[in-house]
Homo-oligomer: A and B are copies of this chain.
């Protein structure tokens, strides 16, 4: 196998679209979530994000990085206006519909309607879930910080409601997102299903790892 090496100068000399694909690939696999919001006027909005990440469990915090608010961004505006939003796992059966939500529709268009997904209001916050998602959560904004390096906006929300299928939650709190059919994203536009390698025991020095998967739930 031959390696290729890119210096900082090589990276900066890539054409813009190639550089975007290249750098977006490097961080590794990403989560695939649809963000559900409502405008002040009550119009539903749905937006695909691959930038959701875990921030902490106590309190339960989830982060999401949004592109600069220099052009109209309905989702970010709605989140700022209402202080709430939902996150909904993209399921293998509607990855194409989720991707289509990234198209730049007019502000008065509900992406739910044009792509064919079903809004279902949260009982806790004023924002719609995606009824087709196997795992959904409602969040209240805790903070929104601009990252000065590139003007992206880091939204951190507190999880205030979780709705999920009851056959994917194990006794130890692990949610089997693979069984739930949640997809992973690479780069900007590639969607992947997963196949578990293993679940490993808590790692300690001088102690061999063991599988904790077979103990909990049959692999097949």
Contacts and interface: CB of A to CB of B under 8 A. Distances in A.
Interface of A: 1-8, 11, 14, 16-33, 50-63, 65, 87, 89, 92, 95-96, 99-106, 109, 114, 123-124, 134-135, 137, 142-143, 145, 147-150, 152, 154, 156, 158-167, 169, 172-178, 182-184, 186-187, 189-205, 207, 209, 212-213
A177 B25 contact: yes
A211 B205 CA distance: 47
B172 A177 contact: no
A33 B3 CA distance: 19
B199 A103 contact: no
Number of copies: 2
A41 B29 CA distance: 34
A137 B4 CA distance: 12
Contacts of A209: 96, 99-100
Given A29-B182, A30-B54, A189-B199, A204 B149 contact: no
Contacts of A202: 189
Contacts of A4: 163-166, 169
Contact of A175 (B50, B173, B187): B187
Contact of A183 (B56, B96, B197): B197
Contacts of A193: 194-195, 197
A200 B189 contact: yes
A73 to B, nearest CB: 15
27 contacts: A1-B134, A1-B167, A3-B163, A4-B166, A5-B162, A7-B160, A11-B162, A16-B58, A21-B174, A23-B58, A26-B135, A26-B159, A26-B162, A26-B175, A28-B32, A28-B89, A29-B29, A53-B65, A55-B147, A55-B152, A56-B152, A96-B200, A104-B205, A189-B201, A190-B213, A191-B200, A192-B197
A92 to B, nearest CB: 6
A-B interface, 10 closest residue pairs, ranked by CB to CB distance from nearest: A28-B31, A18-B173, A21-B173, A25-B175, A192-B194, A103-B203, A29-B184, A23-B57, A56-B150, A22-B173
